[in-house]
Structure 1
Amino acid sequence: MSETADAVSGVAERYATALFDLALEAGALDQVSGDIASFEALLKESDDLKRLVLSPVFSADDQLKAITAILDRAGLGGLVGNIVKLAARNRRLFAIEGIFKGYRALLAAHRGEITADVVSATPLNDVQVAELKDTLSAMAGKQVIINASVDPSLIGGLIVRMGSRMIDNSLKTKLNALKIALKEVG
């Protein structure tokens, strides 16, 4: 399984680097970011599109025809449209999410930013996001971009992943630790 993950990340990294280099050369870094967000929104909305992207059952020609129609209908062309079509043509469409993640990482590094993945039990409001961003920026010494998501199973608190650091201040983790401690005592 690890070899497969490494192969996917290697493929995604090469495509992401190519996309970033082309976007930088064309002065279209923000345009590409917007197009990536639009394509990801399509992926999120459609289970059929997810199946098309992830399934090895479809031939390269079928994937290319379908993805071209979807991109045309969504009005997505340019560099993102081309990289998605290229990935489909080369039977690498399964790596598209990794490609986009890699692009974002390259863009953040280019801008001197770092991304923090924040998982909370409930959605964070704008004030909370701003305070968290300021705190993490001071801690990292760089501008921090917050990638927020919600996991109600946390009950309360946050899990923050920034680079190689992880801070788990969730109520779920604290309760699990307490449960283990009580088992040891009793």
Structure 2
Amino acid sequence: MPVTEASSLTSGVALRYASALFDLAKDENALDAVEADVEAFGKMLDESEDLRRLTESPLYSKGEQVAALDAVFQKAEMGPLASNFFKVVAENRRLFAVRGIVRAFQSLMSAHRGEMLAEVTSAEPLSEANETQLRQILAEQTGRAIKLATKVDPSLIGGLVVKVGSRMIDTSLRTRLNSLKTAMKEVG
């Protein structure tokens, strides 16, 4: 299966699951609590290679995945709605899409509040002042309130990669160095 087909399959699965969780949380009047749990789980995925491996590898049985997630969720004191939901995702062998589910749920919550979600990747953690300034600049550009979903990727070396809707702005030093390398190959 070509990469584009695989990623569109994953994003389709992620959106369906995220929509189901959103509707369930809305029916239970638990949107804020579920959002906090989903964001905490997303952060755990970003910070733990072992947890990422558990969710992405087809080598683990669904029983192993469910048991491991149950232990992680109990230790993190995650609410029953979100923890049961992600265990069902594991039971259905759809954990490969869990990072997409987290992003799609964040987007649904932002849309529900009338915000736009901006995914920001930086080489180092942003200060609160930098986050505030970035949020203001993006709000001016889009005309909507902005919610930032930040993550750190030291391989960027410096700069930012910002995704807002279908637009992506890449000012990372890594990209600039790669462009320079390509330009130098063309010259020489």
TM-score range, shorter chain: 0.7 to 0.9
Q: For residue 102 of structure 2, what is the amino acid of its counterpart?
A: F
2:32 partner SS? helix
2:143 equivalent to 1:168 = no
Equivalent residue, structure 1, for 2:108: 106
The ranges of structure 1 where at least 4 consecutive aligned residues each deviate by more than 6 angstroms after the TM superposition are none
Q: For residue 131 of structure 2, what is the amino acid of its counterpart?
A: V
Give the 3 Å change call, closer, same or farther, for CA 65–172 of structure 1 in structure 2. Answer: closer
Superposition RMSD in Å: 2.5
Instruction: Work out the CA distance in 2 between the residues paired with 1:119 and 1:45.
Output: 14
Equivalent residue, structure 2, for 1:119: 121
Q: CA deviation at 1:83?
A: 0.9
Q: How many percent of aligned residue pairs carry the same amino acid?
A: 48
One of 29, 33, 58 as aligned partner of 2:35: 33
Larger radius of gyration: 1
Structure 1 length as normaliser, TM-score?
0.83
Q: CA deviation at 1:167?
A: 2.5
Equivalent residue, structure 1, for 2:161: 159
Q: CA deviation at 1:92?
A: 1.3
After superposition, what is the alpha-carbon deviation per residue over 1:23-53, rounded to whole angstroms, capped at 9, x for unaligned? Answer: 1122211100111133234434543332222
CA contact (8 A) 2:33 2:79 kept: no
Structure 2 length as normaliser, TM-score?
0.83
2:161 partner SS? strand
Q: CA deviation at 1:126?
A: 1.6
Give the 3 Å change call, closer, same or farther, for CA 167–143 of structure 1 in structure 2. Answer: same
1:10 partner SS? helix
Q: For residue 168 of structure 1, what is the amino acid of its counterpart?
A: D
One of 62, 68, 71 as aligned partner of 1:69: 71
1:57 partner SS? coil
CA contact (8 A) 2:34 2:79 kept: no
CA contact (8 A) 1:108 1:115 kept: yes
After superposition, what is the alpha-carbon deviation per residue over 1:80-133, rounded to whole angstroms, capped at 9, x for unaligned? Answer: 111111111111122221111111111111111112222334432222221111
CA contact (8 A) 1:15 1:83 kept: no
Instruction: Work out the CA distance in 2 between the residues paired with 1:122 and 1:42.
Output: 18
2:15 equivalent to 1:19 = no
2:59 partner SS? coil
Larger deviation, residues 117-126 vs 16-25: 117-126
Instruction: Work out the CA distance in 2 between the residues paired with 1:183 and 1:176.
Output: 11
Structure 2: tracts of 5 or more residues without a match: none
Instruction: Work out the CA distance in 2 between the residues paired with 1:72 and 1:17.
Output: 24
Q: For residue 56 of structure 1, what is the amino acid of its counterpart?
A: P
Instruction: Work out the CA distance in 2 between the residues paired with 1:134 and 1:61.
Output: 46
Equivalent residue, structure 1, for 2:93: 91
1:159 partner SS? strand
Aligned length: 186
